[in-house]
Amino acid sequence: MADGVIVHPAAVRRGSGVIVTPRQIQITDDLDLLLAVLPARVRDVLQQQSDLEMLLEVVLDLGRHLEGRFPNRALHLGDDYATHDDIRYVTSRVGAFGKDNRAGIERTLHRISAIRNRQGEVIGLTCRVGRAVVGTVDIVRDVIESGKSILLLGRPGVGKTTLLREAARVMADEFAKRVVVVDTSNEIAGDGDIPHPGIGRARRMQVPHPELQHAVMIEAVENHMPQVIVIDEIGTEAEALAARTIAERGVQLIATAHGNTLDNLLQNPTLCDLIGGIQAVTLSDEEARRRGTQKTVLERKAPPTFDVVIEIQDKDRLAVHHDVGIVVDRYLRGAPPKPEIRVRTRGADRSARGEGPIMGCDRPDGPHCLGGSYPAGPPGGADLPLCSQPEPPRAGDCGSTRPGLSSRDTARFRYRPDSQIPRAPPAPEAPRGGRARDDPARAEEQHRESDPKIPPQSV
C-alpha cells in the first residue's frame, strides 16, 4: 500500500492534520552482494530467514558467536565461534580500510567497520546493510524545496544518512540543482570511484582523511560552484565554522550532526554555533524588570547557520523546527520548543487522532499550520507565544529546569509583558498629624479651609 504523510500542525484542537499526496517508497539494498562476502555457513543461515530483507547488520567478533541483527531480534548464525579465518575471509573481499576503520563494497552502500587490537590486527567486524530508499524524502519535501539550509538530527540508525542521500538525488534530478556531496566515509554514495545511483546526478567529492572534511567542504564551494552541498556528520568546531562560511556565501546546506534533539545541540559547546551559539548578556535594571528576569541572561550569539532543524524521532515520525533563530530565542527565555510533528502512515485514510498530543509549532503561518497565530506583543516582537498543549516526551528532557538556565524555577525566565508582571500592592498613605481621620471629619475640615468666612472650631 502506498505511504501517506500526516502533519500535526499548530492547531488548537486534536485530530486535525494535513495529508500529503502519497507516493510509493522503493528500496534498493543490493543485499546479495553483501551476502557474497560472508562465510558460506553464515550466508546459508541468513538465506533461510523469511525476513531477510529486514536485516540490519552482521557482527563477527573473534571467539564469539556470529550474529545477525534484525529490528526486533538477534540471530545466532550457527553454534560455532568466529575465527581469524572468518574475519580474513571478509576483509579480503571488501575495499581497503581507511583511517576511520571503515571499508565498503564497490558501488554499494554497505559499510564494513573494523575493530582492532592494540597491535592493529582486525579482531571484529560490523557489516552494516546500506539501503537507498526512494521516496522517503516526501515527508519533508516542501522544506527541502524552500532552499533553506537544513540540519538533520537523530540517534544512530534512525535513517539520517538515508534521508540525506535521497535529498541529494531529489535536488539534483528533480530540481536540476548543482549538488555536491562531501562524502567522508563513502557512506552517502558508496565505495569505489563511481558513485552509487542513489544520489542521482549529484557529484561526489571523497575525503582522504576524516580530519580534512572541513577543507574539502570549502574546496567544493571554491572550485565547483554548487548550489547545494550535502554533508554527513558535522562533528568538529572546524567543520561547524566551514558550514557557516558556506551558508554565508548563499549555498544551501543539507547536513547531519551529532545530537538527538535540539536541546542536545544547544548544550554541545562545539556544535551550538550551528544554531547561533549562546552567550551571557547583562541587562539593565529597567530591561530586567520589564522581562521579569535576573540581570544576567543567556541569549543567542549570532544568526544560525541552519534555518531549519529536523529531528528524526523515528523512521516514520519527524519533528520540524521552522525558523531556528526564533526557536532558540524562545528556548533561552524558558519556553520549550514546539516543533511541527510529521508522521508517515500506511494508507491515507488513517486519522491523525491516534498519534499522541498535538502541539503548537514555532511557525504558525506555515503551510501545514491551521489557525495558529502569534498573540500581539510589545514593539519589536519581544512577546513569546506559550502554547498550552503539552509536548510529547523528548529524549534528554530534564524536567522543569531547562538546560543552560539557572537552577531557579524556569517560570521566572519566561518573558511576560508589563501588564502581566505581578506588582506589589501600593503602600497605604501614612496618616497626617500623627493620627488617622475618618472621612466625614476630613471632608468638613477641607470645607472650612476653602472658605475663610467659616470660623474655626475649637478643639
- Percent share of the chain, pLDDT over 70: 69
Greater confidence (367 vs 50) lies with: 50
Task: Please check the confidence at residue 390 and state whether its pLDDT lies above 70.
Answer: no
pLDDT band at 356 (very low <50, low <70, confident <90, very high): very low
| pLDDT, average across residues 48-77 | 93
Q: What pLDDT sits at residue 101?
A: 93
Q: What is the pLDDT of residues 15-25, one digit of tens each?
A: 334 444 445 56
| Complete domains list, the chain, with CATH | 30-130 (3.30.450), 133-372 (3.40.50.300)
Q: Would you state the cell numbers that stand for residue 410, as one nine-digit string? A: 524556569
pLDDT band at 298 (very low <50, low <70, confident <90, very high): confident
Q: What pLDDT sits at residue 413?
A: 37
Task: Please check the confidence at residue 382 and state whether its pLDDT lies above 50.
Answer: no
Task: Please check the confidence at residue 239 and state whether its pLDDT lies above 60.
Answer: yes
- Residue found under cell 563513502: 186
Task: Please check the confidence at residue 113 and state whether its pLDDT lies above 90.
Answer: yes
Q: What pLDDT sits at residue 371?
A: 32
Task: Please check the confidence at residue 66 and state whether its pLDDT lies above 50.
Answer: yes
Task: Please check the confidence at residue 29 and state whether its pLDDT lies above 60.
Answer: yes
| pLDDT, average across residues 69-80 | 90
Greater confidence (368 vs 39) lies with: 39
